[in-house]
Chain A
Amino acid sequence: MKREITFKLNNEERKVEVDPGWTLLYVLREVLELMGTKEGCGYGECGACTVIIDGLSVNSCLYPILEAEGRAVTTIEGLRAASGELHPLQQAFVNEGAVQCGFCTAGMIMSAKALIDENEKPTEDDIKDNIAGNLCRCTGYVQIIDAIKTVAGGGRT
């Protein structure tokens, strides 16, 4: 049975009619057609679907949609400033060569954002720990870690 729920999506109140069996990822992609959040596995094992819910990074592929009710969800589409300017993390990913095929990128950036929002000056180990759930096959992670460092105030080492 479909139900209507309300939640905050990228700073806007959204009302959506959902089936309780749907995941947040399904609703984002198939109902709201926000295609930036990717599905790389569907089982919590790759992080491509990472979004931020109430400040925490979460695998949206395992997240029952009804739990989003009343919460604040941020996706990659919500990062850009209204002026169209890239978020500093997005810009850093561009600048440092942290993007190759790009399939992991949205999830990676969301994990990085959750980290930086919580800890302004993460160490390299903090960074690695917080993106370890985001698999990337292309980059070998080095330039991703560099990109996050430039935003995290640590600068390049």
Chain B
Amino acid sequence: MTRFEYHKPHTIKEAIGLMGSLENAKFIAGGTDVMVLIKRKKIAPAHLISLRNINDFSSIDIGDGLQIGGGVTHSDIVANEFIQKRYSALTDAAGKVGSRQIRNVATVSGNICNAAPSADTACPLLVLDADVKIAGPKGERQVPLDDFFLGANRVDLGPGEVVTGFHLPPFGLNTGSAYIKHTRRQAMDLPMVGIAVRVTIRIGGSEIGCKDAFCTIDSISNILRRLEDEELRCEDVRIAMGVVAPRPVRARKAEAALKGKVISEALFEEIAEIAASEAQPRDSIRGEAWYRREMVKVLTKRAILISVDRVLRPDDMILRGHDAASCPRVRG
């Protein structure tokens, strides 16, 4: 077993101070990356500075969007109903990280700072326009997540700097998001590809009204078809892709091609093609490049559809077993 000293500061200031005064030190949050790296002898820090005991570090606050504390774990995210409803992609991702045991200790900050191309929460946070909140010896700053990722396992953190949380802007009821993690197993698996999408929709220039018109278990494809004359328009969109580049990336061309358009499944297919052309996957033991590219295509379309679905039919609106054909309120 490797030897290291272990420090347990109670404030961010203290943590930053320790980092400044100790040689060969590393922050540790849930430790699910750090401890593995130490045990596998990939790193050998002399000091670990724990972020687990920082006061008020694990809060999730609503107001001006969403504030996620630096110590928030994946389980904390999963348990939060507001996030599930309004920032669904993040819940999708957090709920699929590793196992329950891992999620109970592993933090979103750790996931982002470790900056693996496969980091599950990275794509959702990218599409949800997250800013990273950083504190350091020189004070505090905030950077868009897209700028925070510098490359494979590299992030924009200076010496002694610590991530204190994330800020996500508010999104209206006409915004939906989703993350699809493509794996070989149903659990305990890293994604072969991960795709996150956020869309904001307008119907013929006005907000969508009567949502319960869609209280059906019909497929979203059919619903879209029924709504064809409604001119549902994509007001805004983000698409992010994991494991297709050295870092999680946005599919900007695909986003541009969708923004402002009247949506249809056929269009989503085109968008998905564009996203696939932007991906630069590689062969590895975890998956072949051609397949990953193919999956970008398939999953991008599916993630857009789920996101749209979540706008049109929020989960609590769907009456289970309610048959679309016999529902008087469904247009069609």
Judge whether B187 and A44 touch: CB under 8 Å: no
Judge whether B31 and A133 touch: CB under 8 Å: no
Q: Chain B contacts of A23 at CB under 8 A?
A: 1, 35
Distance (Å) between the CB of B30 and the closest chain A CB? 8
**Interface footprint category on A:** 20 to 34
Judge whether A1 and B36 touch: CB under 8 Å: no
Q: Chain B contacts of A132 at CB under 8 A?
A: 99-100, 186-188
Q: Mark A67-80, 1 if CB is under 8 A from B, else 0.
A: 10100000000000
Distance (Å) between the CB of A4 and the closest chain B CB? 13
Given A63-B31, A133-B188, do A58 and B105 touch, yes or no (CB 8 Å)? yes
Pick from A14-22, A94-102, A149-157 the stretch touching chain B.
A14-22
Given A62-B36, A133-B187, do A21 and B101 touch, yes or no (CB 8 Å)? no
Number of B residues with CB within 8 Å of any CB on chain A: 28
Distance (Å) between the CB of B324 and the closest chain A CB? 25
Given A43-B39, A63-B31, A133-B187, do A22 and B102 touch, yes or no (CB 8 Å)? no
Chain B, range 221-258, C-beta contacts under 8 Å to A: none
Distance (Å) between the CB of A114 and the closest chain B CB? 8
Residue of B nearest to A20 (CB): B6
A25 to B101, CA, bound (A): 14
Judge whether A58 and B104 touch: CB under 8 Å: yes
Residue of A nearest to B186 (CB): A132
A58 to B106, CA, bound (A): 10
The answer, yes or no, to whether B171 is at the interface (CB within 8 Å) is: no
Most buried by B among A1, A43, A129: A129
* CB-contact partner of A62 in B3, B31, B50, B52, under 8 A: B31
Chain A, range 114-145, C-beta contacts under 8 Å to B: 114-115, 129-135
The answer, yes or no, to whether A45 is at the interface (CB within 8 Å) is: yes
Q: Chain A contacts of B1 at CB under 8 A?
A: 19, 21-23, 26
The answer, yes or no, to whether B5 is at the interface (CB within 8 Å) is: yes
Judge whether B52 and A19 touch: CB under 8 Å: no
A57 to B246, CA, bound (A): 33
Given A56-B104, A58-B104, do A133 and B2 touch, yes or no (CB 8 Å)? no
The answer, yes or no, to whether A64 is at the interface (CB within 8 Å) is: yes
Distance (Å) between the CB of A112 and the closest chain B CB? 11
Q: Chain A contacts of B2 at CB under 8 A?
A: 21
Judge whether A64 and B101 touch: CB under 8 Å: no
Q: Chain A contacts of B4 at CB under 8 A?
A: 20-21
Judge whether B39 and A42 touch: CB under 8 Å: yes
Q: Chain B contacts of A43 at CB under 8 A?
A: 36, 39-40
Q: Mark B3-28, 1 if CB is under 8 A from A, else 0.
A: 11110100000000000000000001
Judge whether B101 and A44 touch: CB under 8 Å: yes
Residue of B nearest to A46 (CB): B188
The answer, yes or no, to whether A111 is at the interface (CB within 8 Å) is: yes
The answer, yes or no, to whether A66 is at the interface (CB within 8 Å) is: yes
Judge whether B35 and A64 touch: CB under 8 Å: yes
Judge whether A44 and B36 touch: CB under 8 Å: yes
Distance (Å) between the CB of B59 and the closest chain A CB? 17
A135 to B8, CA, bound (A): 32
The answer, yes or no, to whether A50 is at the interface (CB within 8 Å) is: yes
Given A50-B101, A129-B187, A133-B98, do A64 and B31 touch, yes or no (CB 8 Å)? yes
Which residues of B are at the interface with A, using a C-beta cutoff of 8 A?
1-6, 8, 28, 31-32, 35-36, 39-40, 48, 50, 52, 75, 98-102, 104-105, 186-188
Can you list 17 contacts pairing A with B, beta carbon distance less than 8 Å? A1-B5, A19-B3, A20-B4, A20-B6, A21-B4, A23-B35, A44-B99, A45-B188, A57-B104, A58-B101, A59-B101, A64-B35, A66-B6, A111-B101, A132-B100, A132-B188, A133-B98
Q: A22-B1, A44-B102 are in contact. List 5 more A-B contacts (CB 8 A).
A: A23-B35, A56-B104, A56-B105, A64-B31, A133-B101
